[in-house]
Structure 1
Amino acid sequence: MHDIKAIRENPAAFDAALSRRGGDGVSGAVLAIDAARREKITAAEAAQAEQNKASKEVGAAKARGDEDEFQRLRALVADKKAEVARLKDEAQAEDTRLTALLAEIPNLPYDDVPDGADEDDNVEVTRWGTPREFDFAPKEHFEIAGVIPGMDFETAAKISGSRFVLLQGAVARVHRALAQFMLDTHVTENGLTETNSPVLVRDEAMYGTDKLPKFGEDSYQTTEGAWLVPTSEVPLTYSVAGDVLDEAALPIRLTAHTLCFRSEAGSAGRDTSGMLRQHQFEKVEMVSITHPDASDDEQKRMLRCAEDLLERLGVPYRTVVLCTGDMGFGARRTYDIEAWLPGQDTYREISSVSTTGDFQARRMNARFRPAEGGKPEFVHTLNGSGLAVGRCLIAVLENGQQADGSVTLPEVLHPYLGGKAQITAEGVLA
């Protein structure tokens, strides 16, 4: 949510920043509604003052026996009371219109975010690892002999429809080991607090984390009205909604491993092979609640936490900063980490690390009390994948595949697999 005061003070700057994301100038529409709302509020206050004044004079007129004046003042009080109620209702209606309009406007990019229209304009900032040279044609994850027995799309389709997968045996265990490795690293080395969060949330949580109203069609809603989370960013971030935190409590760093659900509306025909784009998937999420002055450094810290996981797994990757045209609705700056997938001969996104500034905090009224005193201020919120478990599984399988159909597994996972180091060509851990 945007600060209406900032738009009032510099509407041209607001429109200029929004135009970098391809948006039209909206400050005129915003300020017109805001002016109408403020006019109604001012009029209501004036009518209330007249009502209060007349109310005081009613008793005096009655005491001196001035019946005509008494009746006139009584009628005036009633008229002003009705006028105040009407003006307040009209002001509330304008306020609702204003809130609805502001809720549809994306966050403004930071000045250092590169301009661009789409993913082709993203800018690479770092690259780690050298893609392995194969002496055979590398396969995609679902084509590897040792993986095929443990990655069943047909049965999943029979159970749930398209874009689901049934993982079994060795593949399921490696998938679980990856999530445990990520969580353990975040908790024991990165200082995040492990959280077991709900995957069903209320409208307010989706709205507060900018998923509603813009992206309702991309999420699943139950018949009772609750939403299945698209990511645990929603419950973790919304956990501080309405709070006034002590500055000393910041930063708050949380992590959770949850199921995530996305309808993938509008993505028909994209990445339909294998398990790259699924309706249900697992992710280890990182969320930070910070002081505004610390949010830039916190984003860099979170990015390193995610990159380090891939380095430990031996998966080559590159990190890009997203251009203005490719950023998510609520982001002010986003870094994507893209893992090398030899089966596709390309890098594919495995993590996004975003800072939203105070955009989400305003929507959910999350603030902190400065240590030196003064009015509470809005916190900054950040979120990032650390990592997408299914996509990490794909990367591990494709980068570790061997000519005979087996898969060599990263050493860092061996303790989570009872010392096993590979998936055989028959699909068994060994």
Structure 2
Amino acid sequence: MRLVTALAAGTLSLALSACSAGSLGSSDDEGGGKTEITFLTNNDPSNVKVAEAVIAAFEAKNTDVDVKLDTRPQGSEGDNLVKTRLATGDMADVFEYNSGSLLQAIAPQTNLTPVTGEAWVGDLDPTFKQVVSAGTDVYGSPWGAIVGGGIFYNKPLYTKLGLQAPKTWAEFMANNAKIKAAGVAPVEQTYSETWTSQILVLADFHNVSAAQPDFAGKYTNNQAKFATTPQALAGFQHLEELKKAGYWNDDYASAKYNEGLNAVAVGKAGHYPMITFGVPALDTAAPDNVNDVGFFALPGDDAAKNGVTLWEPSGIYIPKSTEGGKLTAAKRFQAFIASPEGCAANASAAPVGGPFAVKTCKLPDTVAPAVKDLSAYVDAGAASPALEFLSPIKGPALEQITVEVGSGIRGATDGAKLYDEDVKKQAQQLGIKGW
């Protein structure tokens, strides 16, 4: 899975938007001369809300196209569904899926329609363009904002206890001790949805990169491992340490993502490790408390190198199985998502979790405090891309392994070793040299 289940962003493509109904082809027409296409995205309630708003805005401008929304589960179940539907030629006409390393796992050059020559591609953020490309071709427009991984925290609780956002792990643990003494769960975990268990490992990569700038290259070339690189092992150790300290919420094994967001927003928990794509979801999980949630980067050992790990948005893709008039309509929908109007529809449905990945899209004047906190890191240059945007290798079993470590079933070192084996399988499947 890809942690970026975020929201819509993009650039303007007047040429595509000007396509006429007659260019769509009569074989795909529905009643009234409309062409019907399907759009598949993940089933997070906030994400669905945004998808519905974007579809409504697109259909209002493109009255000859009818977009039907379809949803899939998040995490590994949804990932497997996408791969199965692509393999069987049964994929939706347009779909949302991971950018970065896991995009390569669905063989974009074989399964997806390239959009390299579309007008809106020129306005994409260069880093985003890179993570939705294979070879010389671009395949996706951005579904969401650039987001940061770290810790959501309850601002009123911090004020009440006189706490400051920590810059080191030791300071973070000291804050946790004070929060527990106040009778509040220090750190929320939501293992009912296993993908959420990965954040303490993945969001720690800025600290890995700050200490070992060449780690990503060595990792890709099978010259560095999580279990034998102290800075990379630290993420697994954080899970083990927090569990042993008794800092999890009592229902961590059964709690769900939206329950975790609600807990940190209303003050039932002091912290929730998460990526800022959760800001829009806060509007669904705790609409009256969005402004009570702040954000800080995952602390490391060196306060002078404190900074945030960044994720690019997921992508909107068109499978090669989409043809004829449906392909024309699908490209128009993809281009609308990559436009200022698409961004506006996004922002009208839910708060955005970070800056958009397209030059022509601007953040609303009023954004949530957590987004302002993230922007401060980005503006200061205290940020690094997540490992999956520097390396094509990401083991698919990480979320199961981090659940085991966070539950006390497996030790940190054993978990890291197991993940190194998972990574090896992925690298071999991708045919990367040296594995």
- The answer, yes or no, to whether TM exceeds 0.5 is no
- Identify which of structures 1 and 2 has the higher relative contact order when contacts are C-alpha pairs closer than 8 Å and 6+ apart: 2
Structure holding more helix per residue: 2
Structure holding more strand per residue: 1
Tell me the TM-score normalized by structure 1: 0.22
Tell me the TM-score normalized by structure 2: 0.22
Higher gyration radius (CA): 1
